[in-house]
A = this chain, B = another copy of it.
Amino acid sequence: MNGIVVRNIRRADAVIIESLGRLGVATVHEAQGRTGLMQPYMRPLWHGARIAGSAVTALCHPGDNWMIHVAVEVLGRGDVLVVACSSESTDGAFGELLATSLMARGAEGVVLDMGCRDAHEITAMQFPLWSRAISAKGTVKATLGSVNVPVVCAGVQVDPGDVVVADDDGVAIVRRIDAETVSKAGEEREKKEAVSRVRLEKGELGLDIYGMRSALDDKGLKYVDGPLD
């Protein structure tokens, strides 16, 4: 599956995507059984962005960003470009001109398992970007990869059309066919947390709110008065 560009992909429902974006990475990751989270080296270029969109995938090679240029053409409004690399590379595969191009075509943001550059300019544009590094190292356009094929990006399998959720906590992927289920589970989780939050703000203990005491006791946790020294 090298040297292939798939023009059209299936996408999840826009309302579901929006809901997943509002829930955010931590809730979505929990809501789908603690799966789909990219490795924590994926960091936002600037703080405060929270996006969700359909994955358009690009598989590049180290030091080469050719397939990003190819991917732009098949990106639609609301999509997130997900760039995987065939081996570890921090080279600056994405800069201000590509950000300009993606913004012009309505992309929500980009997730790169490579480096980005023009950090200052992309931050000023407020274009949402997550990457493994910031590096000015230039890339070539020499080797074919593919667009809209399944890739592994930062430890997670991403199929074209999967939902990408990204915020200050990192990046999570929701399978397209699971998107609605996960969205509902996330909403439920959020409601429960809202109740816990109020109780915690009053100084109640998680030990009591979550009913942990008996399980701790069963495991044999021992309390001593101390101090021991």
Contact = CB atoms under 8 A, between A and B. Distances in A.
Interface string A204-228: 0111001010011001111111111
A223 to B, nearest CB: 5
A169 B92 contact: yes
Nearest to A46: B47
Interface stretch (A14-22, A34-42, A179-187): A34-42
Contact of A205 (B35, B73, B133): B73
A138 B193 CA distance: 14
Q: Say which size band chain A's interface belongs to.
A: 35 or more
Given A40-B133, A97-B196, A120 B168 contact: yes
Contact of A222 (B4, B61, B138, B150): B4
A210 to B, nearest CB: 7
A170 interface: yes
A135 B170 contact: yes
Given A8-B226, A160-B227, A229-B159, A216 B70 contact: yes
Interface of A: 1-10, 24-26, 29-30, 33-35, 37, 39-40, 43, 47-48, 50, 61-64, 66, 69-70, 72-73, 86-92, 95-98, 100-101, 104-105, 115, 117-120, 123, 133-138, 140-144, 148, 150, 152, 155-157, 159-161, 167-170, 172, 193, 196-197, 200-203, 205-207, 210, 212, 215-216, 219-229
